[in-house]
Each structure stands twice: as C-alpha cells, then as structure tokens.
Structure 1
Amino acid sequence: MDQDNLQRAVNYTNKIAFPIPIKVVVIDLDGTLLDTAADLAHAANKMLLELGKPELPLATIQSFIGKGIQKLVKRSLTNSLDTEPDAELFAKALPIYERNYREHLYTYTRPYPGVVEGLNALKQNGFQLACITNKAEAFTLPLLRATNLLAYFELVLSGDSLPKKKPDPLPLLHACKYFHIVPHELLLIGDSLNDAIAARAAGCNIFCVPYGYNEGRDVRELDCDAIVPTLFEASKLIKKVI
C-alpha cells in the first residue's frame, strides 16, 4: 500500500498502531466478499410481482440488505427498514423469495475487486480465514462454491449456524474458540453496523470496506479500526503472530 492509501486507512482509526498483530481474519459475505445486491433484488422483485405488489428500485433493496433473508423480505414487503408486515403475508412471501433467490443465486453475483488478491495475500502471510455471514447456510455455501472462494476458509458460519447471529458477538466468540485464540487476535472485515457492533462486543478488531451496503449509510459513521479500500490493502495493515 502506498503512503497516501495507508494514511487514508489510518485516518479512520482509534489511534492504534499498525500493523496490528493478528492470528485469524474473519470476513463478512454480502457487501464485503461478494456483490450480491443484483441477485437479491431480482428475487425480491419477482416475489413482489407474484404477490401483486409493485417492484422496488435496486438502490432501495440494496439498503435493505444486512440482517438476513427474513429481514430483507419484511423490508421489501413494507418498503421500510423497520415496519413489520402482516404475518400471513410474510409467511406466504418468504418461501416465494427463497425459491426465486435459489433459482438466481449467482446470476450477477461476483467477488468485489481486490477480494481474490486479498485472500491470496492473507493466505500467503499465514493467516487462518473464516467467513461469518447472516445469510442462511443454504445460500452461503453454494455462493462460496460458485465463486471459487470456499476453499480459502477453514470455518464458515451462516446466519442459521448458531442460536444467534451478528450483531450478537456469539459467532465471533465461537470462531475464537474454534481457532483457540483470544478475541484481540481476531480481525473482522465487514461493511456494516452489524459487523462493527459484533466486533466491539466480542473484543475483536474491526476493519470496514466502503463499497458495501450498510443499509444505505456512510461507513465512516461506524466504530471501526480502519476503513480499507480493498481486502488486499487490509492485508497490509496486519501482521501474523505465532
């Protein structure tokens, strides 16, 4: 990373010293590893049409991403971040959404620029890697396989893998136990408030990427240790410790 890019990353930190000593890197899926918005929106709009409701713009549905499929369906039904839809309508809509998403899971989904380069750099530098997402396992594993990313990760936790998901710290603490490390030896790279809250609650380090979803809000509002343009540049802000 050149000095200008490094300075831009360091500007949004809690004044910690770089490179940070780390053993394990955990990476979020939607909005961090993969740009899934177009396929998620396609499934949502097909669901809305089947229910006789109007389609929504891609940008609107993109702002609904981040808290799992059920929340995305609820937000799409109400065109709102927090309003609860009619329970009967939601029960009808969810399987319609899941069917449509399963049929078009990776039509447009691709890794973001710098992701493959970043994963390769992290592996070459000896870091153990995990993917933790709020997406259901039925969609997570096929997506990682289809995009040739699954082999990079020693652990994959989906939104239904444990009793709680992000922003609860449980998935990160589970990863710490799995890798036999303490929380400050783990770095989470994500794109949203969910990631930042989970990392701080678990006592882990947190980098955020600016290109993700974050429910339409500016990533610079988040409590994170660095904002990194790509995963590849993130790899240069940490060092492997034994």
Structure 2
Amino acid sequence: MVMTHNALAALLARADAAIVDLDGTMVDTLGDFVQALGRMLHDLGLPPIAPAQVEHMVGKGSEHLLRSVLKHVLNQAEQAQAAIEIEAKVEALYPRAWESYQHHYLAVNGQYARTYAGVAEGLQALRRAGLPLACLTNKPTSFARPLLRAKGLDGFFDHVFGGDAFERKKPDPLPLLKTCQALGTTAARTLMIGDSSNDALAARAAGCPVVLVTYGYNHGQPVRSVDADGYLDALTDITAA
C-alpha cells in the first residue's frame, strides 16, 4: 500500500534533511540512455538494444550499465561463444565504449528526458518544511548537474553528489553516510527518497529511513517488494503531509 499521510507526516517530523535520488525518482531519463547507448553501439559496429532491456540495467552507475549493454548485445550476436570469451570482449571494448558513451550522453543530456509529475511541488514542500536537500545519484556528477539545471531542479539542492563523488556507489551505505556529513545531519534523521532496491539497501545499511516512489525503474522488479518505510505514487504526496 502507498503510505498514509499520517505515516509520511510522522517520517517528515523526525527528519532534519532529505536525500533524493535522480534517475527514476525525479527524472525519467530512459530516453537519454537509449539515445546515447544506441549511438555508442553504432560507433562500435554493434547491433542496437531495445529500450525495455536498457530500463532493467539502469541504476547501478554508468560503468555497470555499459558493461551490461555490451554483454547483452555480444551475447545476442555471438551466442555460440563461451561466457568467458564474451567477458573478455566486453573488457576489450569498454574503453572505446566509455569514451563514445560520454560524448553522446553529454550531447543529449536532458533532451529525451522528462521530469515526473509532482517532483517540483514535492521538493518545494520539503524546502518549506525547512529540510536541507541533497541529490545523491549513481549517475556521474558531470551528467547529473547539467540534467538538474536543464530541468530547473538544481536550485532545490544544497549538495549534488554523483556516483563518482565517493569511493563506492549505492547500494553501499558510504555515499549516504558521506552525504549526511555534508548536510550536517545524522543518518537516523535523514530521509532517503528513491525508486529502487539500490536506494533502500543503502538507506537500511546507513540507518536512514527510506521511502520509494512507485513509478521508477528498480531493475524490472516490483518496487513494493523492496523493504522500505513507505511508497509514494508521486512526490506531491509530500505536500499533503
């Protein structure tokens, strides 16, 4: 069930700050990923990949995304090859793939993406409640900051940390703990708002309360199957609380 207004209000009352994920939580970036990956695969002379496949690979950082895409298309093209040979080809192609992907992603960043309904209103409500906000994403910082600016969301955040900001990425708790330090809050009083098991696992390990939106990616799995303190159909649920 989506959490009640009273339950959400109780969580907010105990929070001194909030950390908000980006892809799948604030902005639907699947179109950007599909465009950049398609152009990268063309550069490498590889076949395209379906958007539905890309959607299930998003969320664990660009490095993981590229390796997953390369492995998928090579498996499809060279089914007779052993897994170890495919892995070796992925690693051999990875440097060129990364350079091409960075070039194309920066060129399309935000052009094929849309802000989810209710995001700006939800962030405004959090700010009106006096909560400092940080955006914490596994997307590289050089991609995240321009995207937030392009969608008019950058002004809500005191800090923006990408997947390259710390030694490890979500679902490791380190990024959340470091973000809490930057916000000047304790984990127990910092609310994590995300869309996937990555966010929930990191929050649980860090000791942060966590709520998940129901419309994000979550690697193709039902988000309500993830252990969280609640679920939101839209960030506008925060305005009611």
TM-score class, shorter-chain normalisation, is: 0.7 to 0.9
Structure 1 residue 223: Cα displacement = 0.7
1:19 aligns with 2:10: yes
Select the structure that is richer in helix.
Answer: 2
Q: Residue 57 of structure 1 is aligned with which of 46, 50, 59?
A: 50
Instruction: Tell me how many residue pairs correspond in the alignment.
Output: 226
Counterparts of 1:17 and 1:187, CA distance in 2? 11
What is the match of residue 142 of structure 2?
138
Counterparts of 1:18 and 1:155, CA distance in 2? 24
Structure 1 residue 179: Cα displacement = 2.4
What is the match of residue 41 of structure 2?
48
| Structure 1 residues 51 and 185, CA gap change in structure 2 (3 angstroms) | same
Counterparts of 1:179 and 1:78, CA distance in 2? 38
Identity %: 40
Q: Residue 130 of structure 2 is aligned with which of 120, 126, 129?
A: 126
What is the match of residue 229 of structure 2?
225
Tell me if structure 2 keeps the 8 A contact 1:26–1:188.
yes
Structure 1 residue 122: Cα displacement = 1.1
Structure 1 residue 123: Cα displacement = 1.0
Tell me if structure 1 keeps the 8 A contact 2:125–2:238.
no
Tell me if structure 2 keeps the 8 A contact 1:35–1:110.
yes
Summarize the alignment of residues 99-114 of structure 1 with structure 2, pairs less than 5 Å apart: 99-114=103-118
What is the match of residue 196 of structure 2?
192
What is the match of residue 154 of structure 1?
158
Tell me if structure 2 keeps the 8 A contact 1:196–1:223.
yes
Counterpart secondary structure, 1:87: helix
In the TM superposition, structure 1's runs of 4+ consecutive aligned residues that sit over 6 Å from their partners are: none
Question: Which amino acid counterpart does residue 163 of structure 2 have in structure 1?
Answer: G
Counterparts of 1:236 and 1:199, CA distance in 2? 24
Tell me if structure 2 keeps the 8 A contact 1:167–1:194.
yes
Tell me if structure 2 keeps the 8 A contact 1:19–1:236.
no
Question: Which amino acid counterpart does residue 158 of structure 2 have in structure 1?
Answer: E
TM-score (norm: length of structure 2): 0.88
Tell me if structure 1 keeps the 8 A contact 2:36–2:105.
yes
* Most deviating of 162-171 and 22-31: 162-171
Tell me if structure 2 keeps the 8 A contact 1:184–1:205.
yes
Question: Which amino acid counterpart does residue 212 of structure 2 have in structure 1?
Answer: C
Tell me if structure 2 keeps the 8 A contact 1:68–1:159.
yes
What is the match of residue 34 of structure 1?
27
Counterparts of 2:238 and 2:46, CA distance in 1? 42
What is the match of residue 63 of structure 2?
70
Counterpart secondary structure, 1:54: coil
Tell me if structure 1 keeps the 8 A contact 2:134–2:183.
no
Counterparts of 1:79 and 1:201, CA distance in 2? 31
Tell me if structure 2 keeps the 8 A contact 1:133–1:159.
yes
Question: Which amino acid counterpart does residue 2 of structure 2 have in structure 1?
Answer: R
Q: Residue 72 of structure 2 is aligned with which of 79, 103, 124?
A: 79
Counterparts of 1:17 and 1:151, CA distance in 2? 24
Counterparts of 2:180 and 2:103, CA distance in 1? 34
| Structure 1 residues 17 and 149, CA gap change in structure 2 (3 angstroms) | closer
| Structure 1 residues 17 and 193, CA gap change in structure 2 (3 angstroms) | closer
Question: Which amino acid counterpart does residue 139 of structure 1 have in structure 2?
Answer: F
Counterparts of 1:22 and 1:91, CA distance in 2? 42
